[in-house]
Amino acid sequence: MSIREIQLGDAITVKHGFAFKSKYFSEVGEKVVLTPGNFYEKGGFKRRINKDRYYLGDFPENYILEKGDLVIAMTEQGAGLLGSSAWIPDNDVYLHNQRLGLVHVINNRLLHKKYLYHLFNSHSVRGQIFGSASGTKVRHTSPDKVYKVKVIIPEISSQEKIAEIIDSYDDLIENNRRRIELLEESARLLYKEWFVQLRFPGHEHIQIINGVPEGWSKVRLVDLAELTMGQSPKSEFYNENGEGLPFHQGVTNYGFRFVDNKTYCSKITRLAEAGDILCSVRAPVGRLNLTLDKMILGRGLSAIRSKSGRQSFLFYALRSFFFKEDIMGNGAIYASVTKKDMENIELHTPPLLLEQQFEEFASDIDVQIMNLSKQNKQLVQARDILLPRLMNGTLTV
């Protein structure tokens, strides 16, 4: 397989998006304003339930994206997102804002569009984009900087074969993501049906008193769970080579369900155990994730563990309580909560039998979600090892 080096500007153009005005943003609507937050770090498109914003104002129609458009993140919105790429799906109307670049291949004899997508999500290309980016607080790039990125490409026929191989991994990953989302949605909806809308088994025979079914009670979180507030060690103990335990001090490396371990710490302060619920206690207050590993808690997180062992019920109860971020908390600039604030959160708790029924259903779903998440992690690792070897010709197709 013959390979050559080119600059991306030899084969593509990148179009900046439109500056949509925030005063026309809405939590409901038909046209979704996309941001880099709609991308996965390793590439791919995601919807952000309860976080996406819709646009109600006027704008030029040539900023409506079409199915199959290739877009890249031109600004950093969360760790690792700068330069990430995604295909536009066809299940909604999506708007191209200024934080994204719309990519067109202008020389399809030189570069295959599907191969280009995987190039953008490769370590080499993302490293060059990040290395040439500007900005201190928020890194950003430009079309001219993207054009100067150097890539190694084989002939078009090999590019197409490589894209097909990597696409097979992406398809499996995406199918697992969809299954995870559907599984979680089923548990979330059942919780809402039983414990919010109060249509639980046997509700027809239960009297409602002051909006609460007879036999239910309000219980403080401190009486339901063990609560650990984080405490950050000095940064001199941080590392990225796996020394010590995983370390998290905020939502930067939150995933859809589980945190992604990237930073480690060699000095132990406060610990979360595997399976603990992680809750952000600094803006955004109330964002939840879970940890699969024992980890060190920084000051922006708390770890929550059910005293009764009904961790799934507690997780969905907290998800329902924090239906919107920053609904509690104080602070002149950023919302934050104290341990006392967390302890005094009141949750409606049903009779034991009903709680156990939900736990049995939800815990089975949570195990499936955990297994699918682990499978996806392995698929991503295998794909990321394979991709550069295919691209540089170490493995032939």
- Long-range Cβ pairs for the range 193-199 (8 Å, 24+): 194/350, 194/354, 194/358, 195/317, 195/320, 195/348, 195/350, 195/358, 196/320
Residue 377 CB contacts under 8 Å (≥ 6 apart), including other chains: none
Q: What is the C-alpha separation between 215 and 129, in angstroms, rounded?
A: 59
Q: What is the C-alpha separation between 81 and 99, in angstroms, rounded?
A: 11
Chain mean pLDDT for the chain = 93
User: Is it the case that residue 152 has pLDDT exceeding 60?
Assistant: yes
pLDDT in tens, 59-83: 999 999 999 999 999 998 766 789 9
Phi/psi class of residue 18: alpha, beta or left (left: φ > 0; alpha: ψ in -120 to 50)?
beta
Per-residue pLDDT at 334: 66
- Whether 129 and 101 have beta carbons less than 8 Å apart is answered as no
- Whether 9 and 155 have beta carbons less than 8 Å apart is answered as no
Domains and CATH numbers, the chain: 3-154 (3.90.220.20), 155-203+350-397 (1.10.287), 217-349 (3.90.220.20)
Residues facing residue 6 across a β-bridge = 151
* 327 vs 245 pLDDT, higher one: 245
| Cis check: omega of the bond before 284, within 30 degrees of 0 | yes
pLDDT in tens, 252-284: 899 889 999 999 999 999 999 999 999 999 989
User: Is it the case that residue 293 has pLDDT exceeding 90?
Assistant: yes
Q: What is the C-alpha separation between 285 and 211, in angstroms, rounded?
A: 27
pLDDT in tens, 164-174: 999 999 999 99
pLDDT in tens, 2-25: 889 999 999 999 999 999 999 999
CA-atom Rg of the chain in angstroms: 23
Per-residue pLDDT at 151: 95
